[in-house]
Amino acid sequence: MEELANRKILEEIQLKKQMLLKQGAVTPLTATIPLTPPSPVGQLPMCSIPPVSATAQMMSAILKLKTLESCLQELNGFSKPKLDLEQYETPAHIAAIALHTIQTRYGDIEDKLILDAGCGTGKFALGAAMLGAGAVTALDIDKDALDILKINIEEQEIKNVDVVHCDFLNNPIGRLHIEKKLKDWNVKGNVIAELKFNIHPTYKFHREQSRDIAVDIWRMQLQHL
For another protein, the binding residues (CB under 8 A) are 24-25, 111-113, 134-135, 137, 141, 143, 146, 150, 159-160, 162-167
H helix or E strand, kind and range, residue 2: helix 2-21
Tell me whether residue 143 or residue 207 sits nearer to another protein (CB atom): 143
Tell me whether residue 93 or residue 112 sits nearer to another protein (CB atom): 112
C-beta of 198: minimal distance to another protein in Å? 31
> How far is CA 95 from each of CA 54, 124, 125, 158, rounded to the nearest angstrom?
25, 6, 10, 18
C-beta of 109: minimal distance to another protein in Å? 12
C-beta of 146: minimal distance to another protein in Å? 6
Q: Please compute Rg for the chain using Cα positions.
A: 17
Tell me whether residue 146 or residue 215 sits nearer to another protein (CB atom): 146
The alpha carbon torsion through 124, 104, 27, 51 (nearest 10 deg) reads -110
Rounded to whole angstroms, how far apart are CA atoms 74 and 80? 18
Tell me whether residue 27 or residue 48 sits nearer to another protein (CB atom): 27
C-beta of 164: minimal distance to another protein in Å? 6
Give the type of residue at 141.
Answer: I
